[in-house]
């Protein structure tokens, strides 16, 4: 692709056709590399989803249920909690892309170890090995997460960042939709088909690392490699408010399993319901990620408000359907899940764009690390006390989540516009 073609393609993607020739050639090339690399890693994420793929695989391998139950907490908390010390390492790098490259390659290696464990081990040994490999994958994912916003901020202009990440989400969703269709059809319920999918994920992470290594990043000013601290929260009121909003919006991530519980008495429950969750998530991402990205370039604050409102509406609808006796209808929870996942992808897109645009250029890694560490702690706490739903019931739990989402929209009104 020529330099002019790169500029025109990137301008079309970001809605800047009229200013295509004003876009720097390096930015255009970097933007396309970002989109391709992110698309590959997002496809890999879908192929190795702990909520469905790894849980099903452990069951097929005869691993005790405790290992399947540990998958999501290991993945989520493991990807968020290490980010503060990792931020210090990232800030000490002149070119932060190498942190992302190492993290992506590491996830590929960890996925390869999961494949080997599934091929050669069974029972508790397989469960322990796969959980250990997933912990390594989560740590590498943390390196990618804490470095990416800084790299994006250095290599893509402010008004085009949301479109880059949003399009990558939509492109990846097509592949995940195909995978979800295979799961629902029964064609991909053979153990070896699942192992092959995880092997493909490993290859995609390695390929993404190789491509991202070609990102043209100017070296950052030398900084001491000191770990990020919570001091940035004390010093920045806007960051504190953003963390509160993001913390309240974790309700959109925590609610889906409870929707499945409400539909659990239907004849289509079990693996089919989990496959429907993947399908709903991928469909929502395909339809909404790019739109959310473009909206975030205009006002990520308003995206957070809209996503909070939409999430609350979906959760309330689920509770309403349960009271009406329709929760187990074949169309009810999939429809609610779809709307909720649209809101969830809005939360992801809005929070990512807002944080990049809010943070000073030399503190992006620190802002991301502190924010993610706080949210990781909240998610871990939510996982520990999740058994409380057995006491108050899924309906009451969902009401709490709806209130959290509404509060998030209200609190987000006080955030400053950063675009």
User: DSSP of 19-86, one letter per residue?
Assistant: GGGGS-HHHHHHHHHHHHHHHHHHHHHHHT-IIIIIHHHHHHTT--HHHHHHHHHHHHHHHHTTHHHH
Whether pTM > 0.85 for this model: the answer is no
Short-list 346, 343, 288, CA closest to 315: 343
- pLDDT at 2 > cutoff 60: no
Q: Could you tell me if 164 and 280 are in contact, meaning their C-beta atoms sit under 8 angstroms apart? A: no
Domains in the chain, start-ordered, CATH in brackets?
Answer: 1-225 (1.20.1250.20), 228-419 (1.20.1250.20)
Q: How many residues does the chain have?
A: 419
Residue-level pLDDT at 143: 92
Element of type H or E holding 147? helix 123-155
Task: Give 122-125 contacts, CB < 8 A, sequence gap 24+.
Answer: 122/61, 122/62, 122/63, 123/61, 123/62, 123/63, 123/64, 124/63, 124/64, 124/67
CA dihedral 2, 96, 35, 357 (to 10 degrees): -110
**Within 10 A of 326 (CB to CB), how many other CB atoms are there?**
12
Give percent above pLDDT 90 in the chain: 29
pLDDT confidence band for 267 (50 / 70 / 90): very low
Tokens standing for 348?
A: 């992801």
Give the tens place of pLDDT for each residue, 332-380: 888 898 999 899 889 988 988 888 888 887 777 678 778 878 888 877 7
Give the tens place of pLDDT for each residue, 276-314: 767 877 788 778 877 888 888 889 999 999 999 999 999
For residues 126 and 365, which has the higher predicted lDDT (pLDDT)? 126
- pLDDT at 10 > cutoff 90: no
Give the three-class secondary structure for 335. helix
Rounded Cα distance between 95 and 102, Å, is: 12
Q: Could you tell me if 180 and 274 are in contact, meaning their C-beta atoms sit under 8 angstroms apart? A: no
Short-list 335, 312, 351, 332, CA closest to 149: 351
Q: Could you tell me if 73 and 383 are in contact, meaning their C-beta atoms sit under 8 angstroms apart? A: yes
């Amino acid at each position: 692709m020529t330099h002019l073609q790169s500029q025109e393609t990137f301008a079309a993607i970001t809605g800047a056709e009229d200013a295509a020739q004003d876009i720097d050639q390096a930015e255009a090339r970097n933007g396309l590399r970002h989109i391709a690399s992110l698309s590959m890693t997002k496809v890999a994420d879908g192929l190795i989803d702990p909520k469905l793929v790894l849980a099903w695989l452990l069951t097929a391998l005869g691993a005790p249920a405790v290992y399947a139950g540990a998958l999501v907490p290991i993945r989520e908390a493991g990807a968020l909690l290490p980010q503060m010390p990792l931020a210090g390492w990232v800030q000490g790098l002149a070119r932060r892309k190498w942190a992302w490259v190492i993290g992506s390659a590491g996830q590929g290696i960890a996925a390869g170890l999961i494949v080997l464990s599934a091929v050669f081990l069974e029972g508790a040994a397989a469960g322990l090995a796969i959980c250990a490999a997933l912990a390594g994958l989560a740590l590498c994912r943390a390196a990618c997460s804490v470095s990416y916003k800084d790299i994006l901020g250095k290599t893509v202009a402010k008004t085009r960042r949301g479109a880059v990440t949003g399009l990558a989400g939509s492109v990846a969703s097509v592949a995940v939709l195909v995978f979800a269709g295979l799961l629902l059809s029964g064609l991909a319920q053979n153990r070896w088909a699942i192992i092959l999918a995880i092997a493909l994920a490993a290859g995609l992470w390695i390929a993404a690392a190789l491509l991202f290594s070609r990102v043209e990043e100017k070296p950052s000013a030398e900084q001491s490699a000191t770990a990020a601290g919570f001091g940035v929260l004390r010093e920045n009121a806007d960051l504190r408010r953003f963390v509160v909003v993001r913390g309240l919006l974790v309700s959109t991530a925590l609610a889906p399993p409870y929707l499945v519980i409400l539909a659990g008495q239907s004849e289509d429950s079990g693996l089919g319901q989990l496959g429907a969750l993947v399908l709903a998530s991928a469909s929502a991402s395909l339809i909404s990620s790019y739109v959310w990205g473009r909206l975030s370039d205009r006002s990520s604050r308003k995206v957070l408000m809209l996503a909070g409102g939409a999430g609350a509406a979906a959760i309330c609808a689920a509770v309403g359907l349960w009271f009406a006796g329709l929760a187990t209808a074949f169309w009810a929870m999939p429809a609610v899940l779809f709307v909720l996942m649209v809101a969830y992808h809005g939360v992801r897109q809005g929070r990512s764009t807002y944080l990049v645009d809010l943070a000073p250029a030399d503190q992006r890694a620190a802002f991301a690390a502190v924010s993610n560490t706080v949210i990781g702690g909240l998610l871990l706490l939510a996982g520990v006390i999740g058994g409380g739903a057995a006491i108050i019931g899924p309906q009451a739990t969902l009401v709490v989540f709806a209130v959290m989402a509404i509060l998030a929209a209200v609190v987000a009104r006080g955030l400053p516009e950063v675009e």
